[in-house]
Chain A
Amino acid sequence: MKRLYRNGRIATDSSSEPLKCDVLIEDVRIIGVAETIESVDGCEVIDCSGSVIVPALFDLNVHIRELGREDREDITSCSEAAINGGFTGMVLQSDTNPAIDTGSAVQGVLDTCRDKSRIWQGVYTAGAITKGGSGEELAAIAAMKSKGAVFLSEAGDPVINPQLLRRAMEYARQFDLPVATHGEVKELSGKGSMHEGAYSYSLGLQGIPAISEEIGIARDVRLAEFCGVHLHVQQVSTREGMSTVLRAKERGIRVTCEVSPHHLIFNHSHIGNYDTHYKVNPPLRTEEDSVALLEGLRNGWIDVVACDHSPRTEFEKNQDFASAPFGVTGLETALPSLHHHFIKPGHFGWDVIVNRYSTGPRKFLSIPPVTIKEGHLAEFVVFNPNATVRFAREYLRSKSINTPFLNQTLSGQVERVIFRGAELLVR
């Protein structure tokens, strides 16, 4: 079975503008990429005029909720949300209930994915740093590694005790497991629910100061340097936090970091009238921070984009701002929102998407990037920049709708998702 994607333009890691190309696939693989490919008998032809063919995306930071909170999300709904947004791979975070903190838990979640996910070959899992994510005892690091955990992470929480984190890093290093942390000093964040600044003051909400993140990242970077482990800083939200990572890189420390679409697009002013769809941790910072993060993403100081997909029920989010939980969903909105806010106005090109949201995350895990070249697996997205998308309830495949983009219309739509040759989504 052959399929020809004709008249599209291919996004690559080296050009901000996509290049006109036809792509021919047979079964699971790409068998031809050229400016013009003639159709052959029995070949299905798909007209991609005006569309961009993007190597499928990969997200390093997805909160799955199965086991424990399947009312928010389960493996099937999360995978379908991923496909709906143009992702064919992701790393699940360890904060399920019970947590993914043993070899059998890693095995269990991967087995469930095999049964319930259409992209299971692209789904990986992180393992907790401490048992139950409680910050008290080391989790079964070797056993998790042997069953396939790709890095260690305490999901959205910092490891409060630096000695325990040091031991985890020393131990993880011998297995060459990266350690991902959320840079935060809990005592400085207190019960804060948004960035500490002029808006938290006028809304009368306790703030989470920028120094909570800055000092947290600085501590973790220094520990990682001391232990010689690869540190991945999750969800950088401040200019100073990013600078700390950059300075560490310049000193040759093995450190990478990620930024979310929402921290690039929104800032604390968007919370407006206590809209809990803008309550995230780390919190939305200042406009200056967002601008700095955007610059960092363009310059490669930030290694990857990751959306921190965190489903919450409508009931959970429909509370006063301080009581509502942190988190937004992101898999379905990430690519259209980055297109709408950055690619279309010319802030960055398609190479940034390919490098930071497709190749970069896979490189971090040492898995082969999905490249649109002859002989590679056919794993790409047909994205129509001229269409619009409205994130209505019916459009979203996630069980949860806690996204600031709910009912917003953005420019650009994921029209097809091809995974190992199969069309998982045709809109």
Chain B
Amino acid sequence: MKPRKDLLDIASLTDEEIEFVLSNAVPFKDLFKRSVKKVPTLRGRSVLTLFYEPSTRTRSSFEVAANRLSADVTNFDVESSSVVKGESVVDTVETLEAMRVDYIVVRHKQSGTPNLIARSTRASVINAGDGWHAHPTQALLDAFTLREKLKDIRGARVVIVGDIQHSRVARSTSLLLRRLGAQVAYLAPGSLMPRDLPPDVTTFHSWDDVLTNFRPDVVYLLRVQMERQGEQFFPSLGEYHKLFGLTDARLQVLRERKLWLMHPGPVNRGVEITDAGMNYERSLINEQVENGIAVRMSVLYWLRPGAE
């Protein structure tokens, strides 16, 4: 396997690399049961988190992962830096390059920004979510979580529900699960369903239809917002909940059929999910969070700053 510098998306990964990251996450997760959860793997290495969009959860997950590998972690505080004074991303990266950090974990609201950064630094760049484009560590942790439960992802049927159009999670997780042999369907209102989807994804506009005709093993809910940049995509959150939310009646079907439930967080209670849904016994939401740390440790362990 050739050493790789950056993790920017799922599409550019080889099968071998995917397997490497997923299988190495297993021993890292085993560490969490010990009283000392730290290994010296990245001692003396520095990890910098550069979040242009607020995200406490993902950022903390990367911090914990880096700490458990004994790396030094620094948060670049975008809010109080010269970024707000109009400094460009490329200018900021030149500064970071001078600091000689080894890994940059970046989140940005514009798709492709991690690619831009990766071109101008020798540090390893890890995409922690860019625009609608990609969220590769989320996809890897989702695949890891499903593999733990299903043993083999091949043939698993996963329906992703919600704002498919604007979701980087839908893009990355769907792509990875399909590469690992899963069947993926999307359930969304017409205004949030992209027109030009890959041909191996089936689309649905009603729960009844998807439950009857797709018969999923896994229901993956996405966070939904009614408005984006002043543009409205459906009439009200109430109507969304009624038509596309996991209502208590639909939860009952999940329970009867023993379906797994996933969500990348943070959830909108009362919109895509109810309080009862949050307490569903086959919900994997908390496991996704725990596995996120193991998978991110595995990613940090795998990437090689300065490679290529």
A interface residues with partner B (beta carbon < 8 Å): 190-191, 196-198, 200-206, 273-274, 315, 318-323
Q: Is B33 an interface residue (CB 8 A)?
A: no
Q: Can you add 5 more A-B contacts, CB < 8 Å, to A205-B112, A205-B131, A323-B110?
A: A196-B196, A201-B171, A201-B194, A205-B111, A205-B133
Interface pair B231/A320, CB less than 8 Å apart: no
- Given the known A-B contacts A318-B90, A320-B89, are A201 and B196 also in contact in the complex, defined by CB atoms under 8 Å? yes
Task: Note all chain A residues with C-beta closer than 8 A to B112.
Answer: 203-205, 273-274, 320-322
Q: What's the least CB distance linking A64 to chain B, in Å?
A: 26
Q: Is the interface of A mostly helix, strand, loop or mixed?
A: loop
List 15 interface pairs A-B (beta carbons < 8 Å), by A numbering.
A197-B195, A201-B171, A203-B111, A204-B131, A204-B134, A205-B132, A206-B132, A273-B112, A319-B88, A319-B89, A320-B110, A320-B113, A321-B112, A322-B110, A322-B112
Count chain B residues whose beta carbon lies closer than 8 angstroms to a beta carbon of A: 25
Q: Please encode chain B, from 69 to 97, with 1 for each CB lying within 8 Å of some chain A CB and 0 for all others.
A: 00000000000000000001110000000
- Given the known A-B contacts A190-B231, A274-B116, A323-B110, are A202 and B131 also in contact in the complex, defined by CB atoms under 8 Å? no
B interface residues with partner A (beta carbon < 8 Å): 11, 88-90, 108, 110-113, 115-116, 130-134, 168, 171, 194-198, 229, 231
Interface pair B195/A204, CB less than 8 Å apart: no
Task: Note all chain B residues with C-beta closer than 8 A to A322.
Answer: 110-112, 131
Q: What's the least CB distance linking A185 to chain B, in Å?
A: 15
Q: What's the least CB distance linking B157 to chain A, in Å?
A: 22
Report the Cα distance A320→B194, complex, angstroms: 22
Q: Please name the residue on chain A nearest to B108 by beta carbon.
A: A320
Q: Please name the residue on chain B nearest to A319 by beta carbon.
A: B88
Task: Note all chain A residues with C-beta closer than 8 A to B198.
Answer: 198
* 10 tightest A-B CB contacts, nearest first: A204-B133, A204-B132, A274-B112, A204-B111, A320-B110, A198-B196, A320-B113, A322-B110, A321-B112, A197-B196
Q: Is the interface of B mostly helix, strand, loop or mixed?
A: loop
Report the Cα distance A320→B195, complex, angstroms: 24
Interface pair B195/A196, CB less than 8 Å apart: yes
Q: What's the least CB distance linking A189 to chain B, in Å?
A: 12
Q: What's the least CB distance linking B175 to chain A, in Å?
A: 9
Q: What's the least CB distance linking A144 to chain B, in Å?
A: 36
Report the Cα distance A321→B130, complex, angstroms: 12
Interface pair B194/A321, CB less than 8 Å apart: no
Report the Cα distance A191→B108, complex, angstroms: 17
Report the Cα distance A319→B194, complex, angstroms: 26
